[in-house]
Structure 1
Amino acid sequence: MKRLFVSGRYAQLALTFLLAPLTAWGQTTFDEFFQNSPSPMWMVAVDDGEIVRANPAAKAFYGYPNLEKMQIDQINTFTPEQLRAEIQLASRQERNHLIFRHRLADGSTRLVGVYTQPYQWQGEAVLLSSLYDMSAVDGVTGRRYVATIEEQVDLQTMELEHARERTRWLWIGSALAQGIVIVLLALALWRLRGAQRERTRLIDELSFRNHELERISQAMAHHFQEPSRRLVSFSHQLKRLPPEVLDDSSNVAVGFINTQAQRLSELVSDVQRYLSLDQTPLTLERLNVERIIDELYQRDPLLGPLRDQKALLIDHPLPEAFFDRKQLGLIFKLLLHNAWQYRQPSRPLTVEISGKVVRGRAQYRVADNGQGIAPEYRRQVFEMFNRLVPNGDAYPGTGVGLAILVKLLRKADGQITIEDGRDGGACFVFDLPLPGEKRQ
């Protein structure tokens, strides 16, 4: 223990003498004392940890032929990060006595005490250090002291090792996470490219189908209509023949041909109108719905029976809509004609049109007191060619009208449903955009 304290005290005194004012010690005296000191001494650069100068005692103690110009982390067992932190503490004079394990040239490790002070050497900031060996200690007390110091150093070293291990595992975990993210991104990119290819294929297929429908629509407008018109024309000629030419069965056959030819013509015309909706863009504008209904009601020949019975009631005011003028007239025409066709014969027909704003949309209701539609058939009637009554003179039609209505509303993101009307009748409820509504 005595030897330990003596060597340590000498190292501290040597450092004190070296840092005395230059008025008392000349530069030559400083160099002589540094070089001739029996205590190992060196200077370590603050910025990069390089040993810029070492005295013979230090070179002899460590045994490295090129001790000067070595980095301190080549000797010290601490991590470079820990050493930088210790150097910064010493340079700020927050710590001047340090204990480290140093590696010697022969591979052995020594516990070394270091007294250090900031110093300027040839214009460079260095730490001037005086070192002493704490490993060679005599006596039980001294060995216990050294053992305690070593235990503290071991704990600190172990903590550093644990920190390294944690850092390593964190790095591994981070690398794995990055790898997983890269794989997921690659998989997402692969799926996105697949989706884009499928989207391109579907767009091409849709374009092809639309072209087909356009061709069918054109064919129905010309090639399909022509045979039906010829059938109607020739059946009319046959009906004008003298009675003695055609017997009763022939008259029935001619009537059947005329009826079916007329139905075929109407069917082709309605299907052509349905298909042409895809090729007809909407001309959207702000519409006064009451005015459009009034003009339609007063002028359309198909709605003459409703005018004669004064069957239409309008619950004023109706909200305005942002839609195509012609197509909006067609929607109300279809619904009003449908109400008249399926009226209840036992009572006068009443049709009431009302409207309100619901969730930012204009909602309209066309309610009648006719025959009504059972709940289980209220979705079926909107399908093309679906009719709930047999076709005949009492209920003419093709089953396409409500399908056209649905398609028109879908072009404005609208929907239509059927509810109970007045006295068991039907109520058609549909919505349209309001003026100023932004469509996606």
Structure 2
Amino acid sequence: MKQSAIHILAVLFLTLSANTHADLAFETFFSKHSMPMMIIAVEDGQILRANPAARAFYGFSEVAGMNINQINMLTPDQVEQEMHRAATLERNHLFFRHRLADGQVRVMGVYSEPFEYRGQDTLISAVYDTSDFDPAAERHYIARVEEQVDLQTEQLQQAKTLQFWLAVAGALTQTVIIAVLIVVILRLRRAYRKNDELLGELSFRNGELERLGDVMAHHFQEPSRRLVSLSQQLVRWDAAPDRLQDQAVVVGFIQEQARRLSELVSDVQRYLGLDRARPVMTVLDTGSVLEQAYEQTNTLADMRQQARLETPAPLPAVYFDHRRLVLIFRILLHNAWVYRHADRPLVVRITAGSRHDRIELRIADNGSGIAPEYRLQALELFTRLVPTASEGTGMGLALVAKALRPVGGHIRIEDGMDGGTAIIFDLPAAR
């Protein structure tokens, strides 16, 4: 009965306030009534006025000036929707949970009616605490809460779905950006690596040309000077028949120097030609290439008759240029024959091992050997560690090192058999 009485009172009051212009009567009714009342702006939810009963009930020092969202526990969007329903007379009796100044939460019944207050669209609302009435109000409120919960759940689900897709889009964008950055970094690294390789190659070529120029000036000058000197000797002896024997010796020297000069020119041409001829990479049967180089090289004819070539195990296939591998085998076998030991038959043993994706070939002999302090020098241009030897230009190992450069091959010298020499170099394994 008490609820019905307050309901009638609130309706009468709201009807009166909505239709009267008696300001004095309104002020008296609004200020003196024991029921909490508020005037709320429809536009932004601002509480424009609150009567003393409202201040006493909520416990705030001043309710006017607050926003209804500071009291109502619905979301701002839901509060706005409910105010719109009340402003359009769609629904004027509502139930909400309100928070008091001391933190308590009360289930409040709210009667609202549209009201023009000082030229502004507002809602004048009278509120009451449902705990003072029968359980029907609580059930009504629970139904409203369930409705609001469903609405909140739907909104949360929509927000979660939106957040999920935003996260997916962000992750995809981040992945694309990372992928692009990785590609850019890899390309930059390749460019830097290529630049370093080019700079290294340029530095090598400059040093090589400088070294080539220096040693050629000496090695070509020596036989040329001898040829000129011996030719002048022949001119002086031309009219002396008793010097024919000496002339024959001089002619022999001239022929020897001319041959040496020709060999120097040939080796220099071969050395420079390695830069012009790009390697043709293919899978090679190393054993077959070795046999071809050994059996078909004229300068190795004496070696085939007087020395022994051993390959204890089959040699693995390599990925290299055929012409260059033939050249390497010919040079190394010829060096082994030229620098063989005078007191024992020459034995050359060729073995191979693998390291990562490289094949390391070892050509060891029992010859005269190379002392450790001269091994790096032996790899340079025009190096002859035995100057009195009649054969060789000192270009052999330099040619081998040059032939290996396109595939990043390295060459080194170690001890061979019985104090001999071992030449080790590496090539790419067959793919």
TM bin (shorter chain)? 0.5 to 0.7
- Equivalent position of 1:380 in the other structure: 377
| 1: CA distance, partners of 2:35 / 2:322 | 106
Aligned to 1:405: 400
Structure-2 separation of matches of 1:95 and 1:243:
139
Change (3 A) 1:281 1:22: farther
Match of 1:186 in 2: none
Q: Which residue of 1 aligns with 2:265?
A: 268
* Contact 2:14 2:124 survives alignment (8 Å): no
Tell whether 2:290 aligns with 1:293: yes
Conserved? CA contact 1:306–1:340, under 8 Å: yes
8 A contact 1:50–1:72 mirrored in 2:
yes
For the residue of structure 1 that corresponds to 2:381, the secondary structure is coil
* Structure 1 residue matching 2:101: 3-state secondary structure: strand
Contact 1:116 1:128 in 2 (8 A): no
Output the amino acid matched with 1:50: G
Instruction: Please show how residues 204-215 of structure 1 align to structure 2 within 5 Å.
Output: none
Q: 1:208 to 1:119 in 2, by over 3 A?
A: farther
Deviations 1:122-171, CA, capped at 9 Å, x for gaps: 79xx99798xxxxxxxxxxxxxxxxxxxxxxxxxxxxxxxxxxxxxxxxx
Q: CA RMSD in A?
A: 5.7
CA distance in 1, matches of 2:111, 2:198: 77
CA offset digits 1:228-284 (Å, max 9, x no partner): 99x989989998997946677776666555444433332233223222222211111
Distance 2:126 2:232 in 1: 128
Task: Give the Cα separation in 2 of the matches to 1:56 and 1:35.
Answer: 6
1:399 aligned counterpart, secondary structure: coil
Whether contact under 8 Å (1:117, 1:129) holds in the other structure is no
* 1:284 pairs with 2:281: yes
The more displaced of 352-361 and 285-294 is 352-361
Instruction: State how far apart, in whole Å, the 2-side matches of 1:304 and 1:403 are.
Output: 24
Match of residue 341 from structure 2: 344
State how far apart, in whole Å, the 1-side matches of 2:407 and 2:196 are: 26
Match of 1:424 in 2: 419
**Structure 2 residue identity aligned to 1:324:** D
Classify the secondary structure of the residue corresponding to 2:393: coil
Offset at 1:308? 1.0
Unaligned runs of 5+ in 2: 18-28, 56-60, 80-94, 115-122, 128-184, 213-218
Q: How many residues align?
A: 324
Deviation at 1:306, TM superposition (A): 1.2
Secondary structure of the residue aligned to 1:322 is strand
* Contact kept in structure 1, 2:379 and 2:397, CA below 8 Å: yes
Distance 2:403 2:254 in 1: 33
**Would you say the 8 A contact 1:381–1:388 is kept in 2?**
yes
The alignment-based identity, stated in percent, is 33
- CA shift in 2, pair 1:318/1:202, >3 Å: closer
The residue correspondences of 1:310-389 to structure 2 (distance < 5 A) are: 310-389=307-386
* TM-score under structure 2 length normalisation: 0.55
Unaligned runs of 5+ in 1: 1-15, 77-82, 101-111, 131-188, 218-223
Q: Is the 8 A contact 2:309 2:349 kept in 1?
A: yes
CA distance in 2 between counterparts of 1:280 and 1:403 reads 17
C-alpha distance in 1, partners of 2:257/2:250? 11
CA distance change for structure 1 residues 54 and 313 in 2, over 3 Å: closer, same or farther?
Answer: same
- Supply the distance in 2 between the matched residues of 1:198 and 1:294 (Cα, whole angstroms): 38
| Per-residue deviation, residues 200-245 of structure 1 (Å, max 9, x unmatched) | 899699789979999xx9xxxxxx99xx99x989989998997946
Distance in 2 (alpha carbons) for counterparts of 1:211 and 1:333:
28
Q: What SS class does the counterpart of residue 282 from structure 1 fall into?
A: coil
Match of 2:299 in 1: 302
- Give the Cα separation in 2 of the matches to 1:316 and 1:202: 36
